């Protein structure tokens, strides 16, 4: 048996953010807490959301306080505001951090207690308040997933997996992403590609997630270079929205793998963007994961990337697919390796140790040990 979890309503396409007022009205909401990132960009995004909700008669209270890697402290602060303002709807607008903070606020608003009580799988007994999640980057997929990562006071990342964390409505509007600079577009787009590739080769993959992951890979390969070159190319942006949504839905159910297990400690320890870490690790981990059992899967991926051919031997396809992943990074102008990101070589053994503790790597198609992981960090260096 397999279960399949995504939000019940998922909006994609140009201008779809304007429909959130109608969605809020369906919950009979009167006052929404709008959760956004700290700073001018987050404030502008929250103000736009507030004006749309106002037109539908929904009052708003803005909470633009979320920094990257949201903490239990910001969740508690947001929760206090949610309660004291009498809110009955949560709206997150932003990347993964704003979504994760909103998930934490909603979880405690309904269930009480502390975030640490819910670490692990399916610990919540009650559904969150109505929750609309609006993505402003095409990559994290957090607007469709049942995962949240919140850091505690000791900077430990608490991972929460609960079907109640999946928002009621996800929104992927390319017009919300038009102002993303090229480097952010590239990094978040490579995060989406990594979600799709890891879901496609996951031990937990199935026909439903395969269909989503494969199409997401094809959409990223065709559209990410265009969106990076010209951020006003709304057709490319719209296709990246679909790719991000599909990849999020796929990994929400099939899980991830070794790329994410390595990129989490790397990003946390060296304070590096998640998507960039994934981009540099993806090709070397895919090479490691290519075995007799997975050749067919990597051959399919090569076809989705536009370089594999159905008449060609699987081994040859898998090889050109790997080359395409390396050259995609180069064509997007991403750094060549971890050294360029300022990672210290002497930190790699510690990162390899932490990778082994990451449960997110469990669905990886090939087993690995600490030596394998260290070698892969060195290859990506």
Nearer to Fe ion, 88 or 191 (CB): 191
Tokens of 226: 């265009």
Nearer to Fe ion, 100 or 300 (CB): 100
Smallest distance from the beta carbon of 82 to Fe ion, in angstroms? 27
Distance from the Cα of residue 218 to its chain's centroid: 18
Smallest distance from the beta carbon of 147 to Fe ion, in angstroms? 10
Q: How far apart are CA 11 and CA 40, in angstroms?
A: 26
Cα end-to-end span (Å), the chain? 41
Residues interacting with Fe ion, by CB under 5 A?
191
Nearer to Fe ion, 137 or 317 (CB): 137
List phi, psi (to 5°) of 165.
-75, -15
Nearer to Fe ion, 173 or 191 (CB): 191
Nearer to Fe ion, 201 or 318 (CB): 201
Task: Provide CB contacts within 8 A for 181, sequence distance 6+.
Answer: 231
Task: Provide CB contacts within 8 A for 213, sequence distance 6+.
Answer: 195, 196, 197, 199, 200, 205, 246, 247, 250, 251, 254
Q: How far apart are CA 47 and CA 139, in angstroms?
A: 23
Given a contact cutoff of 8 angstroms between Cβ atoms, the answer to whether 246 and 199 are in contact is no
Smallest distance from the beta carbon of 130 to Fe ion, in angstroms? 26
Smallest distance from the beta carbon of 238 to Fe ion, in angstroms? 21
Smallest distance from the beta carbon of 374 to Fe ion, in angstroms? 22
Nearer to Fe ion, 63 or 377 (CB): 377
Smallest distance from the beta carbon of 195 to Fe ion, in angstroms? 6
Nearer to Fe ion, 37 or 188 (CB): 188
Smallest distance from the beta carbon of 344 to Fe ion, in angstroms? 23
Q: What residues form DSSP beta bridges with 31?
A: 59
Q: How far apart are CA 334 and CA 343, in angstroms?
A: 15
3-state SS, residue 270: helix
List phi, psi (to 5°) of 65.
-130, 5
In this chain, which residue has its C-beta nearest to Fe ion? 191
3-state SS, residue 229: helix
Given a contact cutoff of 8 angstroms between Cβ atoms, the answer to whether 72 and 115 are in contact is yes
Nearer to Fe ion, 62 or 266 (CB): 266
Smallest distance from the beta carbon of 378 to Fe ion, in angstroms? 22
Q: How far apart are CA 231 and CA 159, in angstroms?
A: 33
Q: How far apart are CA 273 and CA 96, in angstroms?
A: 12
Given a contact cutoff of 8 angstroms between Cβ atoms, the answer to whether 99 and 146 are in contact is no
Smallest distance from the beta carbon of 278 to Fe ion, in angstroms? 6
Question: To which residue do tokens 């932003």 refer?
Answer: 94
Q: How far apart are CA 354 and CA 124, in angstroms?
A: 27
Nearer to Fe ion, 100 or 191 (CB): 191
Nearer to Fe ion, 261 or 305 (CB): 261
Smallest distance from the beta carbon of 180 to Fe ion, in angstroms? 16
């Amino acid at each position: 048996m397999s279960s399949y979890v995504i939000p019940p309503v998922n909006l994609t396409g140009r201008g779809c953010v304007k429909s959130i007022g109608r969605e809020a009205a369906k919950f009979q909401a009167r006052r929404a807490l709008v959760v956004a990132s700290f700073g001018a960009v987050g404030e502008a995004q929250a103000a736009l959301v507030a004006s749309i909700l106002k037109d539908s008669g929904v009052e708003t209270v803005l909470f633009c306080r979320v920094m990257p890697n949201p903490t239990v402290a910001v969740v508690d602060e947001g929760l206090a505001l949610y309660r004291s303002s009498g809110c009955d709807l949560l709206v997150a607008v932003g990347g993964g951090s704003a979504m994760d903070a909103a998930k934490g606020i909603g979880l405690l608003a309904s269930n009480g207690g502390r975030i640490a009580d819910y670490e692990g799988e399916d610990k919540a007994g009650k559904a969150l308040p109505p929750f609309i999640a609006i993505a402003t980057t095409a990559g994290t997929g957090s607007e469709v997933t049942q995962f949240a990562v919140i850091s505690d006071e000791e900077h430990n990342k608490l991972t929460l997996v609960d079907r109640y964390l999946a928002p009621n409505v996800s929104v992927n509007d390319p017009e919300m992403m038009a102002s993303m600079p090229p480097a952010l577009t590239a990094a978040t787009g490579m995060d989406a590609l990594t979600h799709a590739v890891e879901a496609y080769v996951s031990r937990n993959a199935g026909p439903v997630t395969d269909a989503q992951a494969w199409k997401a890979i094809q959409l990223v390969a065709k559209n990410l270079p265009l969106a990076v070159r010209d951020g006003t190319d709304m057709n490319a942006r719209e296709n990246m929205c679909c790719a991000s949504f599909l990849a999020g839905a796929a990994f929400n159910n099939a899980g991830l793998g070794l790329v994410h297990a390595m990129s989490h400690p790397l990003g946390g320890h060296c304070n590096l963007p998640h998507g960039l870490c994934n981009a540099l690790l993806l090709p070397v981990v895919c090479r490691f994961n290519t075995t007799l059992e997975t050749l067919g899967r990597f051959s399919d991926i090569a076809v989705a990337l536009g370089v594999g051919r159905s008449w060609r031997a699987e081994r040859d396809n898998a090889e050109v697919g790997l080359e395409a992943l390396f050259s995609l990074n180069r064509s997007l102008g991403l750094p060549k390796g971890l050294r360029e990101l300022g990672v210290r070589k002497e930190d790699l053994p510690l990162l390899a140790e932490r990778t082994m503790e990451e449960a997110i790597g469990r669905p990886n198609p090939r087993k690995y040990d600490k030596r394998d992981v260290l070698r892969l960090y060195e290859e990506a260096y």
